[in-house]
Structure 1
Amino acid sequence: MEKQTFVVRAPGKLSLLGEYAVLEQGVPAVGIAISKSIYCYIKESDKIIFSSRRISIAKVEYQYQDKKVNLISKVDNIDVLEFSKNAMEITLRYLEEIGVPLKKFEINILSDLSNQYGVKFGFGSSAAVTVSIVGGILYLHGFKINKDNQLTASYRKSINRPSYSSLNPFIAYSDPYSASQGNPYLQPSLSQAAGFSYTFKSFQVLSLNYLRATQVINAVVYQNDQTKVSTSINQNLGSQSSLSASSAGSFNIIKKWWNADASIEAAYNHVETEVQGNPYTSSRFAWSVNANQNFILPDNYKIQFSGDYSSRNIDGLFKVLPNYQLDLGGSKTLWNKSATISLKLRDIFNTSRFRSVLQYNNVNSTWQNQWESRRLTLSFTYKFGNLKIKTARDRKTGTGSEEGRM
């Protein structure tokens, strides 16, 4: 019996602003969807098969095992399949982790975003393919996307260029035994990231993200055993990868007077490189949590209590130690909500700091960076003018009456 085929459409995009700036990490862009689209035809099968006319790939076979999608068929240009493979892998891994029985499938990608010779028009076809594959696999496994159930997917390549201070070769001493120096031979860091998230009624149930970066720019400490001077020099490390999962949302614990925002994230980070001629590998599972509690009291009083915690982690060569912070604040509105007086104490126990350990070759040191994080702030704000915008009156004039006549 022929299996039913489902079709998932993902529109292309046109970048209005920031088409190249968005390649830099954290830089936004403005885009709109267009009528041309990518179509993912998917049906259940006894094997994982992928075809795409837009890149001249026909019936390539994959195998999913040990949370990895592995290519079985022989393909000359394997690079063109990388983002499709990542989209399938992260979606199947998500389904497996939430306990959904996995199905094998056959995918065929068709496109309006390229001509008959496979030349792309430049309307974000790679991102649209990623979205359509993720949506197709989820739909095949029973996920129905509607206004209450929303799915987003993304794929990004970026270049992170070194800053001027990282390239400056002059030595700067912070004390007689600590110095920093730029590296004029630094190369840009290259990264690829893929992710998708599932949201139910504005609650982010799950967000999965995978990042792999090469030539990562990171500080490497060189220690002179004779002078005891440690010099920090930025260098390009080998590779760094991260797989993370997070969930976040807002809750009305007690209606009208107690609500909260909370988020939790777990990640597995891995670094593999060469340091001063010797191989170096480090891996770490890390997690963090953030919560914000709001209490609405009588007589226009509000109390806010927030805190965050980050576990042990790795950042390049640094083995980062745990860190946490608690904040407390209160406010009151006055004079028919025209004025607000607020009092806030940040980092109540003065615990926010960066602590880390460096251990490689002849370097064995502990770092602690601390700042004035505990602050008491008193503020007063007042809104001038009329807070209510009145609608324009419907005035009748002589010219207006004349304009309405035939």
Structure 2
Amino acid sequence: MQQTIRKFLFLCSFVPLAASSIEAQTIIKGYVSDEQQKPAGFATVRLAKTSDSTLVKTTLTSVDGNFFFEEVQSGTYLVTVEWIGYHKSVSNPFSLTIGNKEITLKNILLQPETKLLNTVNINGKKPLIETKGGKTILNVGSSILSAGNSALEILSKAPGVTVDREGNISLKGKSGVNVMINGKLTYLSAAQLATLLRSTEGNTIETIELMSSPPATYDASGSGGIINIKLKKNSNYGTNGTVTAGTGYGKFYKNNTGINFNHRTKNLNVFGSYTYTNDKEYQDLDLERSTKASNETTYFSQQGRNITKLQNNNYRAGLDYTINKKNTIGLLFNGYINNNTSNNENKTWIGNQPSKTDSSILAENTGKASFKNQSYNLNYKSVLDTSGQELSADADYSQFRSNSQTVYNNYFYNNLGQSFKTPVIYRNATPSTVKIWSGKLDYTIPFTAKTKLETGLKSSFVQTDNDFQFEDFQFNTWKNDPSRSNRFIYKENVNAAYANLNTEFNSTSLQVGLRTELTHSEGNSPTLQQIVKRNYTDLFPNLSLSQKLSDQNDIGFSYSRRIDRPDYQSLNPFLYFNDLYTYAQGNPLLNPQYTNSFEFSYSYKKILNATLGYSHTRDVITTTLITDTIKKTILIKDQNLAAQNLYNLNVSMPLTITKWWNTTNTITLFYRSFSSPDLMGASFHSGKTSYLLNTTQSFTITPTINAELSMNYQSAQVYGTYAVKPLYNMDMGLSKSFAGNRANIKVAANDVFNFMKARISSAIPGQDYQLIQKEETRVFRITFSYNFGSSLIKAVATHVNASDTEQKRVKSGN
């Protein structure tokens, strides 16, 4: 591959040199301005042949709007100009002949995509759902229901997306989805990712991108695809920003506030944001189960309520500096400081017959936790030449610190409600530190205007240190229990290289890529004197092909192979107690899971979009509930099942009923099955056909008043060893803009009829439990936002960090 590229570049450099010996070369000059005749600085200018649109050269305008091309051969050309916030401009064709030494083009005037009204940009309203370049894009920036809601609440109602009670996200029925924010993976476990998304305000989100088959430029992790949440950015020149404040009430009061700002000059952009959330919420639990040992059956009936208080502080600051028109450097710092407290009261009734109580346990558990994260990014981008070659580099360092402390108080009563046993009191602390170093280098080679090669290297190193401390309360003092305390140290190094080719010919687009990743990991439990080492190398090919059949019909096909490595905490052999009969444990022997996915797509008028897919996952990582008939306990543990097969069909269609009523409707139909030759001593197979329905109705009441109605339905599903009953809800919202559209008030009600309730049972034959979880889903909110500052549009740089897969697997909390 390297020799081929070198030969190609040599030929490309030789041809123009040979031509220059035959005929004279010409310099082309020009000037670009906006609608106010002001210079358009740093606009992209391309020189192409009129015969076949072949790209000849690319450059950027200077600060004063001027541009020039040197060493141009004779021929017929045209110039195109693109500048963020303005329509693309194409010049008239012009000819160069032998003897011309210099030619000056007519001034190029750009027209804005937006109109200024009282210095505020008024844009045409985007459809709620768009399909572009293999992505499904949700434009939630102007959605009423996004205000006051968290990112997790919005994501759980996105078409084809489901979120289970542990925070695991599935896309079109496929689990193992990686979540990115502004192009950077979050590096958190499922539970802690859910916490982060709950603390991310919905009114800060611009779009959500759903990618079921990402190209090789992305990390290979995420067998279910990638969801990229893009936060709102103020791209205006000068000093500007947005302030927000909101409050809500369900069972308890909630409030949030935030600000984001940026200050932009010709060469420097400084930006930052801060959000604060103060939330109090509850979760009710009802669990009915039985265990059978020999001829004896024991019945458990458990009811509990957990009340949690959350205080989340998220912050972000950075700068971009344009050294010259070809080189840019950037710095980014972000993090969070979050604290929560919880009070969990559970009552468990135990008997040898249903509804008969022989004894009971009252568990009063109190906890507190703190989570801190700091991440640093240094990035550099260089445009190497006028042909469009680009080189970019990123260096990242992230550190996560967390400490959770929980005290468990267990009181025992007989069938008369009298205390008959000494209380069992214990506590645990789980201090944890995760450090991530990573770096990446990306290089883009445009062969022609329609063909480019993207290549890159990445290396990451992760080190985690978890110290689990268990203590019993005996004789009025706390004593360490070494049999239940443990320390776990994990190290992982992943080195990757990729190549991705994009090309277009006639009405066909082709993207083909290959990524290779070399992984070395070591899990060490000094307490258990147990070390698990792994070394493996994998290849991850992907292919995407699209064909334009006509102006109204497009078809496509994609294939990808991806991996999901266990999150760091799932490998930790700690034993976590919920109560005396329910606990969770890590599994250091977990293997990564591999998925091969195939997908066909069809689009009609860019309105009707349909996909038909199939995927097969080997060694699928699944959370299982295992009953111990001797101890009469339930163990929650991640295990590798043999395989998962998934077939899915997704159809979405936005409709305009009238000029004031628009609707977007999506249906996802899928069949998902799991199998294992040995689970709890027997072969296991589960499978079910399920469907998801999403509909959103948008109403324009007046130019400044809008309303929304959203309804979601999930049919019964089977996921691994869980059987889940249907879920459904309805949301409503109303918004009013004023003060020249700078200010906005949004009122929204989530789960208006309080229908959302998780009902789960076992999919394993012979295992008996029925679980009902009810969270605080019916919440009424009011949110105010105000935009301040200038409205002159300027381009914005985008940060993409190097440490993109590693942090998602951190179970350090948020």
TM-score interval w.r.t. the shorter chain? Answer: 0.5 to 0.7
CA contact (8 A) 2:672 2:689 kept: yes
Aligned equivalent of 1:24, options 206, 218, 222: 222
Q: CA deviation at 1:148?
A: 2.5
Q: Output the CA distance in 2 between the equivalents of 1:301 and 1:28.
A: 31
Q: Output the CA distance in 2 between the equivalents of 1:263 and 1:339.
A: 32
Matches within 5 A, 1:83-162: 127-128=542-543, 131=545, 145-162=549-566
Matches within 5 A, 1:36-47: none
Aligned residue for 2:789, secondary structure, equals coil
Partner of 2:627: 223
Aligned equivalent of 2:643, options 212, 221, 239: 239
196-205 or 328-337, larger mean C-alpha shift: 196-205
Partner of 2:598: 194
Q: CA deviation at 1:336?
A: 2.1
Aligned residue for 1:384, secondary structure, equals strand
Partner of 2:798: none
Aligned residue for 1:355, secondary structure, equals strand
Alignment of 1:340 with 2:340, yes or no, is no
Alignment of 1:275 with 2:473, yes or no, is no
Q: Output the CA distance in 1 between the equivalents of 2:706 and 2:447.
A: 46
Q: Output the CA distance in 1 between the equivalents of 2:653 and 2:574.
A: 47
CA contact (8 A) 2:559 2:598 kept: yes
Aligned residue for 1:21, secondary structure, equals coil
CA contact (8 A) 1:186 1:236 kept: yes
Partner of 2:668: 265
Q: Output the CA distance in 2 between the equivalents of 1:383 and 1:151.
A: 41
Q: CA deviation digits over 1:247-269, x for unaligned, max 9?
A: 112111112x1101110011111
Aligned residue for 2:569, secondary structure, equals helix
Aligned residue for 2:566, secondary structure, equals coil
Q: Which one-letter code corresponds to 1:190 in the other structure?
A: Y
Q: CA deviation at 1:127?
A: 4.3
Q: CA deviation digits over 1:207-234, x for unaligned, max 9?
A: 1111110111112222122432101111
Partner of 2:653: 249
CA contact (8 A) 1:197 1:204 kept: no
CA contact (8 A) 2:712 2:728 kept: yes
Q: CA deviation at 1:177?
A: 1.8
Q: CA deviation at 1:389?
A: 5.8
Q: Output the CA distance in 2 between the equivalents of 1:28 and 1:34.
A: 30
Partner of 1:55: none
More strand by share: 2
Q: Which one-letter code corresponds to 1:19 in the other structure?
A: T
Q: 1:125 to 1:376 in 2, by over 3 A?
A: closer
Q: CA deviation digits over 1:183-224, x for unaligned, max 9?
A: 000000111101021111222342111111011111222212
Partner of 1:87: none
Q: 1:271 to 1:18 in 2, by over 3 A?
A: closer
CA contact (8 A) 2:515 2:541 kept: no
CA contact (8 A) 1:21 1:28 kept: no
TM-score after normalising by structure 1: 0.63
Q: Output the CA distance in 2 between the equivalents of 1:33 and 1:194.
A: 28
Aligned residue for 1:165, secondary structure, equals helix
Alignment of 1:170 with 2:569, yes or no, is no
Aligned residue for 2:788, secondary structure, equals coil
Alignment of 1:385 with 2:786, yes or no, is no
Q: Which runs of 5+ in 1 are unaligned?
A: 1-16, 38-110, 115-119, 136-143, 391-406
The sequence identity of aligned pairs, in percent, is 27
Alignment of 1:304 with 2:708, yes or no, is yes
CA contact (8 A) 2:699 2:708 kept: yes
Partner of 2:805: none
Aligned residue for 1:306, secondary structure, equals strand
Aligned equivalent of 2:616, options 209, 212, 230: 212
- What is the root-mean-square deviation in Å for CA atoms of aligned residues? 3.2
Q: Which structure has the larger Rg?
A: 2
Aligned residue for 1:231, secondary structure, equals strand
Q: Which one-letter code corresponds to 1:258 in the other structure?
A: W
Q: 1:28 to 1:172 in 2, by over 3 A?
A: closer
Aligned residue for 2:545, secondary structure, equals helix
More helix by share: 1
Q: Output the CA distance in 2 between the equivalents of 1:365 and 1:121.
A: 44
Q: Output the CA distance in 2 between the equivalents of 1:271 and 1:33.
A: 44
278-287 or 366-375, larger mean C-alpha shift: 366-375
Q: Output the CA distance in 1 between the equivalents of 2:735 and 2:668.
A: 30
CA contact (8 A) 1:23 1:156 kept: no
Partner of 1:370: 774
309-318 or 369-378, larger mean C-alpha shift: 369-378
